[in-house]
Structure 1
């Protein structure tokens, strides 16, 4: 477990500021302390919390908020599928708790640990250490953000924090032309005519995902063809 805790320390440099922003954004739209912290406990997914805060603050319907958050978090299904074969002997209750604690950073670090050929027991304890440490740091940052947000005047908009945070998250992921095209399509759709029920963000996310899937299938044969 200590190996996981130690591995989490450098990751906290990115996790804590993000959690502070999430907490401040939730407080900034008028959520009470218990509501804002409850969001952090129940969801525990920064991108979804930011989306929830933005859509709730703009008056979107509940089903739109839930569905958009689900789309944003689809990647965790792939993460779980990748880790599941390596945790087969782990008790079911522990796996359920592990699914709740799963985040981008713990997934990447644990996958790297698995690649080293460690035993399942070692991998489970590593995952437990890094996941619990990141969860605690996230909750601490969320509390700080909620308290900070309560002191921000109501006429100060927090929307710019949402935009800046998403840009900071997005840029490192744009590692190939497929990612760039998907991001461009999503951005263009989100800037289009205002859709009913605040559906722009959901439609933009789906459009980017669909275009990326289609282009990946079209470009793969060309990139894997015979070389001269």
Structure 2
């Protein structure tokens, strides 16, 4: 990354996306944060500006191409270029056995996690390929490399995100652009608490993590900064798994 790189983050209003915004602010990046909720987005941008960095909120829903196009073009109009994009927008969907899943539930997960990632990369690469530089980091999950009973749609969507990441990396390499993914395990976010609604269930789930705890959003944010930076300049098409040892065996 150059001095004061321009960073675009989708799904920036909560959890990992929000932590990434503050991690990049700590590196003096210029940050464009995006999400669907205007008031929360403006508040986040104000918090980042209060840290002494340039920041702007642009409303977008990654399920809709016009929103994504306007988001990327707005970031470039504001700062003149796009150095890093973090595609963190996503949805977990409803947990249920596969035989109970429906086309509507499929669309609710895949439109955000897969179509949203595809559209985001389409327009980010439009800019980065023309620049001849850039780094994209998609957010996958431990579930992008394994199965989980009751979570077939979420699991399938994250497998798809990793496939998109690898394919896009091969296409973008000729332009000097890198595309990677970060795949967190359980992280203390609102999404984790929605999935594990009661304390007993959450404790049992975390007991299966070799490090015996959930990760923090800040730990994942720091990893995203590393993967996007010049410190990982020979890394593309890869998935960095950060899960306390969950996939070690």
- Give the number of the structure with larger relative contact order, counting CA–CA contacts within 8 Å between residues 6 or more apart: 1
Superposition TM-score, scaled by structure 1 size:
0.28
Whichever structure has more strand as a proportion of its residues is 2
Q: Which structure is larger by alpha-carbon Rg, 1 or 2?
A: 1
Whichever structure has more helix as a proportion of its residues is 1
